[in-house]
Structure 1
Amino acid sequence: MDNNKVDILDRALKRQKEARKTAEQILEQRSLELFNTSEELKRVNKQLEEVLDEKNTQLKGVFENINDAYLVMNLNGEVLKMNDIAERFFGYSMDESPNVVDLIYKEDYLYAMSSFQELIEKGKFSGFTARIITKEKKIKWVNINAITILDKNNQPIAAQGVIRDITEEREKQIVLDLINNIAQSILGKEEINEIASEISSKIAKYLNTNDCIIYLLDNDSKTLEQIAAYGQKQQKDNSIFNRIILPIGKGIVGTVAKIGKSEIIHDTSKDDRYILDDKIRYSEITVPIINNGEVIGIIDAEHEQKNYFNEDQLETVENIANLVALQLKSALNIRERKKVEDKNKELLEKLTISNEELKEYAHIVSHDLKSPLRSIAALSTWIKMDNLDCFDKNSLEYFDDLEMTLEKMEGLISDVLKFSKVESKDQEEEVDLDFLVRDLIKMLYVPDNITVKILSKLPSVIGDKTKLQQIFQNLISNAVKFNNKENGIITIGVEDQNSFYKFTITDNGIGIDKKHFDKIFKIFQSLKEAKDSSGIGLSIVKKIVNLYQGEIWLDSEINKGTTFYFTLKK
């Protein structure tokens, strides 16, 4: 081996020795650091134990008599000490050394961490309220007051706290808040599906289930219809996918509706009544909505787990059912009323069309009937005039009777046309009835033996002048026409009755038998044969009075006279 190779090997060996020496130094340094850390940890733990012993000595008398859970933990959340109440509450013994972090309910984790940071920074916190999970996986509400434990340098090394179980009062508050929230959310709502949707969503959230259905009972069909849903059956527009209608008595829902008593089913797979809807769920809670002793609907919720629902939840849903029963019944009545109103509107529209068609028909008929009548009248007149010398006295009287009959028929057709026109108020205006009636009396034929008096000034009303004139004209004309006294008297009066005026037209004429009181207001009903009476006048009067939301009636005594009463709205 030459000298060059020897030098290379020496240098390599030297570097190797130096590297080993360096590694040994690093290892020695790390070992020292580890030893020091271990000693520091021992010191801290010893100090922690001393502090705990000191605190325990100071607080021993206090915590021996405390009725709440108490524990001590290090800053990593490891439980160092807890009393018997804490062990029973959390379900862990000290031998199991639970970590507080593992006890925190998932949804409250961030809140718990921020509160712990506050504890470290401020040295204490009070009134911390959150949920924890026990060893048996039960969710509990707790209220915690805690303080830090300081070392001799006043640095936090642990924390201790008192944990109070507030599950029962918290759940009561949740239920109260839920009921208040539901009451506020449905207040003022009239649409039944909207109310039911609010109920189903809030109950589902309270029960922590993704299925809640509201059924409405139909007494006519004896069925239950799904009207609101929360969960997979609820579509984006809040309508229900695959809406189900159940006969009363069928299924769990139908049974509850029939007997009116709530049920909890812990395992639906063992209940023959269970009806599969969108998917199988093993727990079901069903509550009737009762108003005045009558079932009007059902609240039904399901959960995928067996034995999920409990009696406390049942009581809460029953309280909600009692709360919403009146509002649902009111909404149901409104819905039924709207159905009737819609039906009436539809009928009114059809009636309006029918009336228009009837008016048109009346015009056509009157025209078609009057034309041949006038032709007959003209032909009769021509025959009579052309053969005047050929007819005897009786024949000429026949011609006179024929002309009178044709004239009466034409008048009857005109009256029918007038009757068909009464349906609407054509020209509404303020009408001075005093002026109208006085002017009308001047135009009517009133024999010298009859006196017409207006007892007091007549008022002005809003209405169709022509129709209002028809009322007074028909009644006054009849009073004149059927008056057989030597000194006939007709009086017209008025009385103010709040929102109406009551008018009277009284005569001392022949009177009307009581058995005919209803008959005289019907079309084509005339009690006396008269050439100028078609029997339509009083039917037109009644129709006009009804049009103005009034009433018409009469008092009468044979041979003593008659009084017609009618009202007109102001």
Structure 2
Amino acid sequence: MLTNNIEILRKALERERKARELAEGFVENRLRELYVNNIQLSNRVLTQEEFQNDLLDNLVDALFVVDFKGEILKINKEAMKLLGLNNDFKIDNLTQFSNRHKKEIHKLLSKDNLESENEVFYYEFINAKKDKKYVTIKSKILVDSEKIPYAHQAIVRDVTEKYLLDLKVQKQQQFEKFESQIVKDLLKSNDIFTNAFDLVNHIAEFLNTDDCVFYGFINGELVQLASTSNKLDANHIIKNKLSIPIDKGVVGRVARTKKGEIINDTTKDKDYIIDDLSRLSEITVPILLDDQVVGIIDSEHPEKNHYTKDKLAALSKISILISLHIKNSSSELEKFLKQQELEATKNRLEIIFESYSDSKVIESKDGHIEFASNAFLNLFNIPTEAHDQLIGLSCEIARENLKGFFLYENEFVSRVEEIIKNQEAVYDEILELKDGKFVSRSYTPILLNGKLDGHVWRYRDVTLQINYDKSLEFQNTKYKNIIENINLGLMEVDNNDIILSLNNAFCTMSGYDSDELIGKRAKDVLITNEYLEILDKKIRIRKEGIDDVYEIEILAKNGETKYWLVSGSPNYNINGEIIGSLGIHLDITEIKTLIFKNEKLISDLTESNLELSNYAHIVSHDLKTPLHSIASCVDWIKEDNEGKLSKDSLEYISIINESIIDMNQLISSTLQYSELRSSQKEHNKSETQLVVESIIMNIDINKMKSVSINILKPLPVIKLNNTKTKQVFQNLIENAYKYRDANKKSIVTINWENQNEFILFSIEDNGIGIAEEHFDFIFQVFKKLNNRTDSSGIGLSIVKNIIESAGGKIWFESKLNVGTTFYFTLPK
């Protein structure tokens, strides 16, 4: 039974094992199938992705897939090529490519820019190789599985070649239109001005400027014939035409080189000429015919780099097209201008000949009158209506009729015959008329091929001139007499200092006769050795055309030393050339003697002042010594009798002490005043700001509690030494404190300002002020407004003396119970 059960279990286990093996085999086969299927699927996916990549890389247009931040999700080879980058260059964001287009790129790829779905854009940019590209962009918004936009997909097509070709065709069409319009206008008229006006307007429009000028080569010069600027009159003709020689300006340079030029920056071109306005770029093209310049086209623009080479080429082509027409028009203009010039010259000569004040008569070679001017008729009181009767009249008959006007009739006729016989020019013979007038007569023979062809007689009324010469001769005589008798010595010398002329006064001053000096050098006879060098210097500067005044020491004939003041000036001839000098001499010997005496007196006074100053020091010391003794004795008396003295005695002692202080202050101020007078010429510079700050710092701290000193702005440097500067400001500041108003805080304000050659200072206080009756003696020595012991009455006198000795002034303004302001000036 047990064996059967075991067998049953064994068989059941065997079946179970086979079932498990079968199941495992099935699972293994299934897993193998799944693995193979998965490998095949992966291969298909990989093959599809590679196919897509190959497709993108071989796409003829550039492809970009870019998110809204500019991050590149996908880019093909054509895109890299378009950007000017090689395939090894890694680019993650479009802004890596160009900072210049960063804003435009962000705007184009913005998440908000979703309305551009499938729309085509036109775009211009410069790639990494500096190549300018023109492209069209067709963009598409990419969305994820949830329909949310996440990127732009852009197909970019390079249309640069097509664009440039279209641009070239457009320029060619524009030029052909420009060319045909110019030719059409030239055929309308042969007038150079009309042609030039139409030409510059067409060229200005073609060059996109408002300035174009046409120069014609007329009579050897470049002349402005037409312009688009505001130089035109109502008939389109240039006002004040500018003519340029071919050796001047850019236009002249182009005319010489016969080659067109573009100037991108006129400020760097030395030949640039400003006509009406300064402009920054210029294009100039010559118009040539048979290699000869017949005109110039010139255009300017206010911006730099405006003109291009293709514009230059277009203008050069146009210049060839119009050269023959311009040459013909210019030739006609030259003939017209020459004819105009001849007519104008003829008219001018006729007007000059007729209106000239001289009277003229032209005789033919056979002895008949051919021309008589109106001035000739007027000179001899011949009626104007008789003019026609004179023409053709025999000259012999005319002379017989004319001789009656002259004082010496027969001599008039015989001299005319003599002149004609000699056939030589005669100038300004003076003849006297019977009515008292004088005329000058001149004669010129007319020669043609060396043979006599006629005679020209010129008569001129010189009555005024003759009378003037007589008057001048009289005046010369009169002034010569004045010069001879004037008290100033006059001498004329040549460039070698040789004396040419003298007046009587000079001879009197020197003691020499004129024949003793004329022909000699002044310095050899008159000048002492000490002044020879000075005189040589004056002679040199006179030859340079300079006049001046100087003193000189001379030795008179009698051996006496004299001092002269000389005013020397160069002497010129009629051609303005220096031929010597003129000297006016004043004897200042007496004045010089007085000056010497005055200088000695000043020297003596200086020594006296020095002695007085020394005396003041001695007296100051001697006076202060007994004062110190008195002060000491009073103090001893007070100490020895302490507690024994009455109230009155103590008051007397106090009065003595105050008087001693007052006397000591008075002695010190007197000495200070004396020292001030002895050092008035010391004018060193001082820094006023530092001096005043030092004064303020040394003021008693108790005083500072009741006074405020304000300096409104930094004080300047002045021409005064530190000691005097301190005396001026310390006295004025201390006075402001001494005479303060006890009922209010004392305020002192210091200020200054520039006034032409001076500096004006002001020191203002709000003290008790000064009564008007005291104004007149406020600066007087030892004058005090009250009996203060801390004032000597000499401080303001010292201040006034310092300021005035330095060349300044001091004054004040004051009002009782309001305050006082002291003003003073010092030279800069």
TM-score range (shorter-chain normalised) is 0.3 to 0.5
From the CA coordinates, give the structure whose radius of gyration is larger.
2
Normalising by structure 1, what TM-score? 0.45
TM-score of the pair, normalised by structure 2: 0.32
Higher relative contact order (CA 8 A, sep 6+): 1
